[in-house]
Amino acid sequence: MNERSNLSMATEDVLRVELEVFRREHRDLDEAIQALEEKPTADPLTIRRLKKQKLVLKDKISLIEDRLLPDIIA
C-alpha cells in the first residue's frame, strides 16, 4: 500500500508542475496577445491563433485542477 501512495504523490507532484507550466504559458500568451492588439499593424489571424492556444491551455489547466481538487459531495 505504501508504494501506491508514493506513486500517487509522484503523480500529484507531476500534475502540480504541469499546472504551473501551463499557467505560466497562459499568462505569456495573454501578454503577447495584448502587445499584438496594441499594434496597428497586428495580424488578426495570428491573434486568433494565439487566443485559440490560450483557450486550449485554459482547458488543460481546468482538467488538471479537477484531478488535483476533486469535487467533494457533502
CA distance 55 to 41: 24
Q: Residue 1: its pLDDT value, please? A: 47
pLDDT surpassing 50 at residue 59: yes
DSSP state of 40: T
In the predicted model, what is the mean pLDDT of residues 34-47?
A: 95
Rounded to the nearest integer, the mean pLDDT of the chain is: 89
The three cell numbers locating residue 2 = 505504501
In the predicted model, what is the mean pLDDT of residues 22-50?
A: 96
Q: Residue 45: its pLDDT value, please? A: 96
Q: Domain limits of the chain?
A: 12-67
In the predicted model, what is the mean pLDDT of residues 55-68?
A: 95
C-alpha 28 chain-centroid distance: 11
Binning pLDDT at 50, 70 and 90, where does residue 11 land? confident
